[in-house]
Amino acid sequence: MANAGIPIVEPKGKLGVLTVGLGAVATTMIAGVEAVRRKLALPIGSMTQMGTIRLGKRTEKRVPKIKDFVPLASLDDLVFGSWDLFTDNAYEAALKAGVLDNRLVEQLKDFLVTIQPMSAAFEQKWVKRLHPDNLKTGATKMDLAEQIMEDIRQFKKRSGADRLVIIWCASTELFTEPCPVHQTLEVFEEGLRTNSPDIPPSMLYAYAALKLGVPFANGAPHLTVDIPALTNLAIEKHIPICGKDFKSGQTFMKTLLAPGLKLKLLGLKGWFSTNILGNRDGEVLDDPENFKSKEETKSSVLERCIQPDIYPELYGSYFHKVRIEYYPPRGDAKESWDNLDIFGWLGYPMQIKVNFQCRDSILAAPMALDLVLFLDLAQRCPEMAKKGIQEWLSLYFKGPQVAAGLYPEHDVFIQVMKLKNTLRYLRGEELITHLGLEYYD
Ligand SMILES: NC(=O)c1ccc[n+]([C@@H]2O[C@H](COP(=O)([O-])OP(=O)(O)OC[C@H]3O[C@@H](n4cnc5c(N)ncnc54)[C@H](O)[C@@H]3O)[C@@H](O)[C@H]2O)c1
């Protein structure tokens, strides 16, 4: 049933976008927005810019663009800031990342040089492969979090932004399980004051954001906001949060294929996924402890898509292996290979091979942009903001953040329906169920 529509405050003034990390993904997103603003290129891959949404019955032929259907901030109103471990401005960082054509980066140089990263909160043990030169110092983790809060206030003042969103586009930290210090805000804050070894830098940024009422998305696989202390803070203060780990390349393909196997009731004996990647992200992930964070999010999607508990004869005992190999010559041009050993009618074996020659940050940049714009939308909609966790954004993540005790939906077809039905609900349109009978009365 349609409702009367949910109140959403119009996006007035500038939206400040703060990226933690000014590496390949962040510079590709920022430079890309400017290229689109200057009409040098199209925002391909961005749901908020090019996506459409069907409304009402198929016979009504109402299919507006999403950006014309819900009140999103305009690209012209975005202003950018960042933190990074290195002092390179966005122009220098984009050249080093080597994702975009040098010619395009040169065309945007006057804009990119204005984005100079603020100094970072960092601790070497969480990312061993990088050796930074642009760091904050402080006696305690609370001191560092307070410095980040001051950075956020100063950025807001100097950029003239009315609203802010923060997105983690920084390196993957080493794997950690939720610990006692992550459980409540009280013990977490005590941990900040006493330098708990279980609080990584990413949690300092997330804590600072939430304390100041700024929505936060996490594009990497480590926990960050996905701990009770910070999730509850977001819910209490009505601040949208979401994560973890952009679902951009191989895992996106996996969550396209796996639901297909299940709907055809084809069995699975094994799925081997490997990648070669040569950018700084690949270098960080070459450390087994950092890779373990990625392995967790990359591996869990398959289990949820094929549901071995419900289909034991088909998926009860399959072998799943995921590898990432650091191979510098490739830079950002990642290549992935998947081999699926499957079986069909009467158990006869078959194989599927997928070779995806992608560009990691070209896939991730529009996702980062969409997350920023959708989180800002959620912040302007009190009914959404008060939920804290924005599960409707699951489509963007390998490890979607969901309410405690709930399993995440990984199937992309469910995820996209979830996202679009949420938008329909916000605007008081009928939800589309794809019931097979409705045109035949
Ligand atoms: N590109 C993709 O398709 C994709 C997909 C999923 C996840 N991711 C994740 O997105 C993140 C960014 O990827 P990328 O390719 O841009 O990596 P990158 O290495 O090019 O950039 C990351 C930047 O973060 C900075 N950094 C690290 N720790 C920091 C800290 N504590 N504070 C501030 N800055 C810090 C680094 O100096 C670096 O410049 C990675 O965690 C990656 O795993 C990327």
Quote the pTM value.
0.96
Mean pLDDT, to the nearest integer, of 285-299? 81
From the CA of 256, how far away is ligand 1's center (Å)? Answer: 25
In CATH, what number does 14-246+361-426 get? 3.40.50.720
In the prediction, which pLDDT does 297 show?
76
Ligand 1, residues at Cβ distance < 6 Å: 20-26, 83-86, 97, 120-122, 127, 130, 169-172, 201, 219-220, 245-246, 248-249, 279-281, 360-361, 363-364
Token pair recorded at residue 252: 């996106």
> Which runs of E-coded beta strand occur in 117-171?
118-119, 161-168
pLDDT category of residue 87 using cuts at 50, 70 and 90? very high
Which residue among 83, 133, 166, 171 has the greatest number of ligand 1 atoms within 8 angstroms of its CB, and so is best to mutate?
Answer: 171
Q: Where in the chain is the domain with CATH 3.30.360.10?
A: 250-357
Mean pLDDT, to the nearest integer, of 218-230? 96
Give dist(CA 20, CA 228) in Å, integer: 22
HSE of 74 in the Cβ direction (CA atoms, 13 Å)? 7
Is the pLDDT at 293 greater than 90? The verdict is no
Q: Where in the chain is the domain with CATH 3.40.50.720?
A: 14-246+361-426
* The 349-357 sheet, strands edge to edge: 319-326, 267-277, 335-343, 349-357
From the CA of 120, how far away is ligand 1's center (Å)? Answer: 13
Percentage, residues of the chain above pLDDT 70: 100
Token pair recorded at residue 266: 């084809």
**Closest to 215 (Cα-Cα) out of 193, 232, 240:** 240
> How many angstroms separate the Cα of 131 from the Cα of each of 27, 122, 127, 201?
20, 10, 9, 15
Mean pLDDT, to the nearest integer, of 50-55? 98
Give dist(CA 403, CA 234) in Å, integer: 12
Is the pLDDT at 295 greater than 90? The verdict is no
pLDDT in tens, 26-39: 999 999 999 999 99
Amino acid letter for position 206: A
pLDDT category of residue 1 using cuts at 50, 70 and 90? low
From the CA of 426, how far away is ligand 1's center (Å)? Answer: 33
Is the pLDDT at 231 greater than 80? The verdict is yes
- Cβ atoms of 386 and 208 within 8 Å: the answer is no
Q: Which atom of ligand 1 is nearest to the CA of 97?
A: 20
Mean pLDDT, to the nearest integer, of 250-277? 94
> How many angstroms separate the Cα of 191 from the Cα of each of 20, 39, 182, 188?
22, 48, 9, 5
Give dist(CA 437, CA 26) in Å, integer: 46
pLDDT in tens, 370-398: 999 999 999 999 999 999 999 999 999 99
Q: How many residues does the chain have?
A: 441
| CATH fold of the domain at 250-357 | Dihydrodipicolinate Reductase; domain 2 (3.30.360)
Is the pLDDT at 151 greater than 70? The verdict is yes
Q: Compute the CA torsion angle 27, 28, 30, 36 (nearest 10 deg).
A: 150
